[in-house]
Each structure stands twice: as structure tokens, then as C-alpha cells.
Structure 1
Amino acid sequence: MELRKLGSTGLKVSVVGIGCNNFGGRCDENLTKEIVYSALDSGINFFDTADVYGHQGLSEEYLGKAVAGKRKDLVIATKFGMQMDKDGRKKGGSRRYIIQAVEDSLKRLHTDYIDLYQQHFPDDETQIEETLCALDDLVHQGKVRYLGCSNFSGWQISDADWTARNRGLNRFITAQNLYSLIDRSIEKEVIPACQQYGLGLLPYFPLASGLLTGKYIRGSEPPKGTRLASWGERAKSALSDNNFDIVEKLTSFAAKKDHSLLDLAMSWLASLPQISSVIAGATSKEQVQQNAAAASWRLTDEDMNEVHIISSP
């Protein structure tokens, strides 16, 4: 498994990371362990979770138990900021909440430090300066190694970077955003901002919620148990004729190269230099192995150009 620098830091992470959003939900504790062990066997050292994943932080708890005894060899990322209670008190980017949130995550993860602590979504009610000052304190206290943002726009990344540099604070070193051959919208502003300020990109939903695995058929209902099956009416936009046109062309391209659609989706992202790690969720050890193997295919410049044309909006 290829290792890459996490943003501009010296920390190395596997080019494929495990998205832990299914832990504590679709994956119980035993299945979580199977997935984690399969990832380790595949050379994956990067695990991305969040306090809100699973019921009441179960994703962090299950991950912490699964990696017991192996912590020093792994890079664990988690996130804060999404609502964790019914009355809306446990959320956001205020200093008070961040101090509480990090302690809760450390406890659930059974660790005394977090490698990458990410703000899950921008908080319109809290100045970014307050958030960054609180996060900077956590770095100096040794509770957090590096900082990242998730679902930030290009201008929000720019604003956060300017604020951190102006105040002499630790900066965000990664940006985690939705990115795949089906949704390339971040290429307009987010990727240029990451390149300008030296942030590594951590794309999530690289398989477009399964659309880039070939499991969905044009004109048919999503198979039971799949992610899109649980979306109801929202699935219609993902299963549009335009998206299926792209999928069919990509499938044909991959077949000519003796690869699957999934291989192409993962390898396209892994072939981009700005990508630190591709965050891929899994609900079985077989999926982990497929994702890990897929990223080993490196597309040529000619391949990249052709895929770029096929998948252009």
C-alpha cells in the first residue's frame, strides 16, 4: 500500500483510508473488527471517523476497541461539530463545545491523542478565530496532532488559513469533501484553495454511494440494503439519466483496460497528486480488499484526459 504525506506535514498515511461512518450502524462491533483487521492486513493505516457516526458515538467506541494494542502504528482522524443531542447544545465550533467534544472522543477512542481533528462542517454562529484558537490549544496540550476541515467551501478554507497565519495558530492541513467521478463540483473552488494553501485533500464517497460500483441499474429501484435504497425520493437525483450515461461510458473505458468500474473510480482519485488519502467506507472485509487493490492501478496522462472528458459535468 502506497503511503503519502498528509497535506504538507511529514505524517504518512495510506493512499486508501477507511471511512468509519458505518461502524455502530450498519456494522456491529464484531463486523467492525473484521473490517479493521482486513484493512490492517491490506496495508491501510488511516481510519476516519466522527463523534456523530453510529448511535451516540458508537463508531469511535468500536474503532477504539478494534485497534487496541495497535494504536501507535495507526493514524486516527475524527470530527466534531455536528449535533450530538436533542436540544442542540452539543454542536458547533465554540471553545466551550470543542473542549468537551475532544474529551468525549478521546474517551470513546480509548486513546490519549487524536492524529487529525477535523471540524465536520462550518459553523456560521461561531467566528473561525474562536474555533482555531481552541483547536490550537489542543495541539499545544498534546491531545491533537494536526487539524483539518470538512465540507468547507473554497473561501472558507481561505478565511481559515488567513486567520491562522495572522494569529500564529496551527492551520488546517487537510480538507475532507465529497468528490468522485460523478460529483466533481469541488474542482471549481475547493481544490484550487487546497493547492494554494497546501492542504491535502481527503475525498469521501469516492464510489458515489455505490453508483460507481455498478450495483445500480438504469430504470430499476435500488437493491434492498444499499445506501441509495434508504434515501427514498432523494435517490432520484443520484440515479439520473445523466449519471447513468457517465457510468456506462466509464464502465466501457475500464473494461478496455481489463479493470472494473470500481477500480477506475478509486484509481482516478489515487492518481491525482493533491489527494492524501481516499476515504472509502465498507460494510464487509471483501469491500476493504477490493478498495485497497483498486487504488494500485495508476492511470496514464492519456487515461486521465479521457476519463476527465467522459465525466465532465
Structure 2
Amino acid sequence: MQHHHLGRTALRVSELCLGTMNFGPATSEDESYAILDRALEHDINFVDTANQYGASAGVGATETIIGNWLAQGGDRREQIVLATKLYEPMSDRPNDRGLSARNIRLACDASLRRLQTDHIDLYQMHHIDRTAPWDEVWQAMETLVAQGKITYVGSSNFAGWTVAQANEAARSRHFLGLVSEQSLYNLTERTIELEVIPACESYGLGLLPWSPLGGGLLAGVLSVEATGRRSSAEMARRVESIRPQLIQWETLCDDLGERPSDVGVAWLLHQPAVTSPIVGPRTIAQLDGAIHATSIHLSSDVLDRIDAIFPGPGPAPEAYAW
């Protein structure tokens, strides 16, 4: 497992980031522990969660599971770079959401309690808050850094111009600003190549793609379909919208002798702007597959074939202007 600097920082994170959204609603607490332990065995030191994760198990449940795992000791906390997020509503109360200074402070303290730790390595804004002035956001984040509760600040689902706006505001305050961006990025969703990736490269942000397999589209859905298993109505609609591409995709993966899910992650690992794709396994077997993806080398010819199947939008502004 290789480790890369997180953006322009000296912090080193594994080339895969363990996403934990399934912990609680889809994966039991005991199996979540086993996945976390397996990740450490393979030198995956980057663990990502969010305060709202938990779904049917209840908001905050995922952080609680991670906190219980950390509480087992064995230098678990010292071995990982722990990332969490805030923004989404945690209750029906109007101030338990967003990026107000109040919510940033209270949400951080609540995450620390659930995670059973005294600091968060990477505290991320899960979405932009158009009502929160950057001076308010950065003042709150600066206070948390000064208190030792967080070390770095990241963003998620930001537009390219928002990355620039945020970091210029931070620069004016002599603050480090954003060091990473989590974005939807996979072969079926390449919009961020227009503006977000250039902004990340310009400002020195690490790029952490989420949904690397397009919600399952790139994981071999046609092969599953051939076994007679039914997909949800929404997945069936998505498959039909790009069936010709999926046929070519799964044929290419067969030619390589690799599973489509592993090649989908490997493609992201071959993108220069990517620091660490976020993989969210429900089982140890799924984690093992993602780990295998780090050993897959895609030649320039194969990358060209993949680009022909799933072409990107091209650079901005050329993609939409003369």
C-alpha cells in the first residue's frame, strides 16, 4: 500500500481511504471492527466518516462504532488518519445543521464524544452553506485548530469556484484553508474534470473521490443481471441509459482478466490528481477486492480504451466554448 501527501500538506495517507457509511445500517458492529482491523493489516491508515452516517441505525451510529473500535486500544488511534464531516442535519432543530460557527463548534464536540478521541485529523465540510460567510466559517475552524480539536480542514461536494473562494478567504486570514476535496468522481461521472480538479491542483488540495463505482454501475451489473438477479427500478433505469457502454466496459474487464469493480478503482488510482479514492465496503471480501485494485496496472492503451468508452468532458472552458 503506497502513501501519498494529502494535498500540499506533509501528512501522508494511504492510496485507498476506508469509507464507513455502511457501518451500522448495512454492516454489523463486529464486522465493522473486522474491516477496520483488516484495513490496518494492509497499511490503510485513512478512515473517513461523517457525523450523520448511520441511516436506519440512527444518525451518529457510524461514528459511535468507530469510537468503540478505537476504544479497544492497541494504538488504533495512533495508526490512523481520522476524517469526519459536518453539515447535514442531526436533529429537527434549526441550528443542528449547516456551517454556522455555533454548529461547527457543537458538531465537532459531539463527533469527538462519539469517536472517543480528543482530536480529528481532517474535519470536512460535507457541503457548501451559502448562508455562512467565510469569515464566520474560518474563525470557527481556526478556533478548533487552536484548541487542538482538529488539525486540517477539508471540503466535500464543492464547486471549483467555491474551492477558490474558500481558500482566498483563508489566505487573507493567514490560515491554511482547505487541504482536500471529496467529490463524486468515477468513469460515469467525470464532471469535476472541468473545474474542480483544476482548482484542486491550483490550490494544492488532495482529491478524494467518493462513489468510485458509480453506485454499482461499474461493478459488473450486466454479469449480475445474467444470473437472473433483479435490480431495483432505479438501477435498471440507470443500466438501460448506458447499456452499450457497460457492455464494452465489462468486455474490456474480461479481456484484462479482472473484475469490473477492481478496474474501476484502479482507473481512479491512475488519475494524477487523485490522492485516495474512498471505498466503502460492506464486507471484508469487498475490501480485499479494493486492495487488489492497487496492484492492477493499466497500460496507456487500456486507459485510452477506457476513455473511448467513458469519455470525459474535456478541459474548461474549451469543453463548452470555442
Q: Aligned partners of 1:263, 1:48: CA distance in 2, in Å?
A: 20
Could you tell me which residue of structure 2 aligns to residue 303 of structure 1?
302
Could you tell me which residue of structure 2 aligns to residue 163 of structure 1?
169
Could you tell me which residue of structure 1 aligns to residue 272 of structure 2?
273
Amino acid aligned to 2:4 = R
Q: 1:87 aligns with which of 93, 100, 108?
A: 93
Structure 2 unaligned blocks of 5 or more: 313-322
Q: Aligned partners of 1:42, 1:92: CA distance in 2, in Å?
A: 36
Does residue 1:47 correspond to 2:44, yes or no?
no
Could you tell me which residue of structure 2 aligns to residue 206 of structure 1?
212
TM-score by length of 1: 0.92
For the 8 Å contact 2:2–2:15, the answer to whether it is kept is yes
Deviations along 1:7-60, one digit per CA (max 9) or x if unpaired, are: 111111111111111112112211211211222222211111000000120101
Deviations along 1:64-84, one digit per CA (max 9) or x if unpaired, are: 212332110101100001111
What percentage of residue pairs aligned between the two structures are identical?
35
Q: Aligned partners of 1:36, 1:166: CA distance in 2, in Å?
A: 39
Could you tell me which residue of structure 2 aligns to residue 38 of structure 1?
38
Q: Aligned partners of 1:264, 1:84: CA distance in 2, in Å?
A: 36
SS in 2 for 1:62: helix
Q: Aligned partners of 2:30, 2:228: CA distance in 1, in Å?
A: 27
**What does 1:123-202 correspond to in 2, within 5 Å?**
123-202=129-208
In angstroms, what is the RMSD of aligned CA positions? 2.0
Q: Aligned partners of 1:247, 1:215: CA distance in 2, in Å?
A: 8
Q: 1:62 aligns with which of 62, 65, 70?
A: 65
Q: Aligned partners of 1:300, 1:116: CA distance in 2, in Å?
A: 34
For the 8 Å contact 1:218–1:239, the answer to whether it is kept is no
Could you tell me which residue of structure 2 aligns to residue 285 of structure 1?
284
Q: Aligned partners of 1:282, 1:40: CA distance in 2, in Å?
A: 14
Amino acid aligned to 1:186 = I
For the 8 Å contact 2:70–2:116, the answer to whether it is kept is no
Could you tell me which residue of structure 2 aligns to residue 264 of structure 1?
263
Structure 1 residues 133 and 59 mapped into 2: Cα distance closer, same or farther (>3 Å)? Answer: same
Amino acid aligned to 1:262 = S
SS in 2 for 1:212: coil
> How many corresponding residue pairs?
306
Amino acid aligned to 1:197 = Y
SS in 1 for 2:83: strand
Structure 1 residues 218 and 34 mapped into 2: Cα distance closer, same or farther (>3 Å)? Answer: closer
Q: Aligned partners of 2:141, 2:229: CA distance in 1, in Å?
A: 42
Structure 1 residues 86 and 235 mapped into 2: Cα distance closer, same or farther (>3 Å)? Answer: farther
Could you tell me which residue of structure 2 aligns to residue 19 of structure 1?
19
Structure 1 residues 222 and 102 mapped into 2: Cα distance closer, same or farther (>3 Å)? Answer: farther
Q: Aligned partners of 1:129, 1:253: CA distance in 2, in Å?
A: 49
For the 8 Å contact 1:210–1:216, the answer to whether it is kept is no
Amino acid aligned to 1:60 = E
Structure 1 unaligned blocks of 5 or more: none
Could you tell me which residue of structure 2 aligns to residue 2 of structure 1?
2
TM-score by length of 2: 0.89
Q: Aligned partners of 1:155, 1:254: CA distance in 2, in Å?
A: 36
For the 8 Å contact 2:51–2:111, the answer to whether it is kept is yes
